[in-house]
Copies of this chain bind each other. A is one copy, B any other.
């Protein structure tokens, strides 16, 4: 037992406890808190963020980390402890460059911003959100100045926070390939007989959606003894530790797919966090390894599994029985065609697999322009609409259906969106390999998700942040991330 590491653990506990408290307040804000609470509560979040900052950026912590990073001390640590020390040092290195006061103010700002954004979205009023969004962007630009390395662009630095090693250079190539594939495939779709999915807009009672959604989450393995499903404006996952993982959805009474696929998606995230081993939870390496890997798990469940025919074979009857009045005249095959219909539409989270990455490209390019000072915050709505016209051939009729649709920017998450596209690619690569190892379709048709989930738990989930995305891909598939699997997947699915 290394005494320095033992001492470090007491600091880790403090930091983790404060981090959990802050997350809990955010969770509550998004799911339950009364409207008028937000101002006081954001102040409280600001103060707790200050405590968190000082628990991390602390002379003794940094001293202990320096000691533990030395060769001799390193040797006395096990693999988990080593990973903790490295990750903690890296995290503190980021945060310490930002002055405590600015850090606190930013946490308070983004906490309040969530409700300002939600209200602006509800009322289609970008102008009421503009000052807040602009303040977030200006703060992030300032933070970038504190942190950026010589020769690095601000946006590259931000991308790296979410997906290590990915810069605009890699992403341009990555998105270039996707674009080359998707655009002709989309054209091809238009030539095909149009799929009628009018059924999806019939009436689906909220309480029945909630009942079926809960079943569905459990069906893919979400454990309600360790998890919660709640409602929020925008679906998300939030984890406190591996025994308390929360997912949310929203129920739209005239859109059956919306809650179904957001629940499978968030359950995918949730399974990742529930699968982290006990020895890692509540430590700095106790979460998913990167945003890209996280999105690979959610998109794997949502799309690779959730949109396949095999997945629905055992549970189609149940879905049809739950919504007899609206689904009586719909066949399984019509439903499968419906949930895989590719057609440009406004909302990213409701979009099909083929157009999805185009939604991401719009955000990626706009973010880059903002942080390269090529676009002002006030001009975002117009730029957004132009890009949608350019890539998807449609122009959002309102900002609610356009630039206001996602919550990410209100939380200060710029550089996150590309993770969704990376996640799609990782998911396709994993599926390709797993399909050789496991009888995937047969398992799905038998309603036996457990072996699939266990494979992911064994090879991905349990490791938390102790392995990188590429390390795990190497171990599982024998190669690092390779976008070709995703290209092949899309081509096969939408080209036939």
Interface residues of A (CB under 8 A from B): 13-14, 16-18, 20-22, 24-25, 27-28, 32-37, 39-41, 43-44, 47-48, 51, 224-228, 230, 240-241, 243-244, 281-282
Return the chain B residue nearest A14 by Cβ.
B47
Q: A24-B25, A28-B28, A51-B51 are in contact. Are A17 and B36 (CB under 8 A)?
A: no
Bound CA span A13–B25, Å = 16
A47:B228 contact, CB within 8 angstroms: no
Cβ–Cβ contact A51 & B18, under 8 A: yes
Which chain B residues lie closer than 8 Å to A224 at the CB level?
Answer: 34
Assess A243 versus B36: contact at CB under 8 Å? Given A28-B28, A44-B20, A51-B51: yes
CB-based contact B40/A282 at 8 Å: yes
Nearest CB to that of A245 among chain B residues?
B34
**Nearest CB of B to A3, in Å:** 19
Bound-complex Cα distance A34 to B245 (A) = 9
| Chain B min CB distance to A200 (Å) | 27
* Contact status B14-A244, CB under 8 Å: no
Residues of B close to A281: CB separation below 8 A: 40
By a CB distance below 8 angstroms, the chain B residues around A240 are 37, 40-41, 44
Q: A25 and B21: CB pair below 8 A? A: yes
Once the chains are docked, how many angstroms separate the CA of A225 from the CA of B33?
Answer: 9
In whole angstroms, how far apart are the Cα atoms of A11 and B28 in the complex? 25
Q: Which residue of B lies closest to A32 (CB)?
A: B228
In Å, the complex CA distance between A240 and B39 comes to 12
CB-CB < 8 A to A20: which residues of B? 41, 44
Evaluate whether A48 and B244 lie within 8 angstroms (CB atoms) in the complex, with A25-B24, A28-B24, A37-B226 already known.
Answer: no
Measured CB to CB, the closest approach of chain B to A32, in angstroms, equals 6
A-B pairs with beta carbons under 8 Å apart, 11 shown? A13-B43, A14-B51, A21-B24, A21-B25, A34-B226, A34-B227, A34-B244, A36-B226, A40-B240, A40-B244, A44-B240
**Which residues of chain B are within 8 angstroms of A282 by Cβ–Cβ distance?**
40, 43-44
- Counting from the closest, the 3 A-B pairs by CB-CB distance are A37-B244, A21-B21, A17-B47
Q: Given A20-B41, A28-B28, A32-B228, list of 18 further CB < 8 A pairs?
A: A16-B47, A17-B47, A17-B48, A18-B51, A21-B48, A24-B28, A33-B228, A34-B225, A34-B228, A35-B225, A36-B226, A37-B240, A37-B241, A40-B240, A40-B241, A40-B244, A40-B281, A51-B51
Q: CA separation between A243 and B18, bound complex, in Å? A: 23
A485 to B36, CA, bound (A): 39
Q: Identify the closest chain B residue to A224 (Cβ).
A: B34
Q: Are A21 and B44 closer than 8 Å at their CB atoms?
A: yes
Q: How far is the CA of A338 from the CA of B306 in the complex (A)?
A: 54
Compute how far the CA of A21 lies from the CA of B18 in the bound complex, rounded to whole angstroms: 9
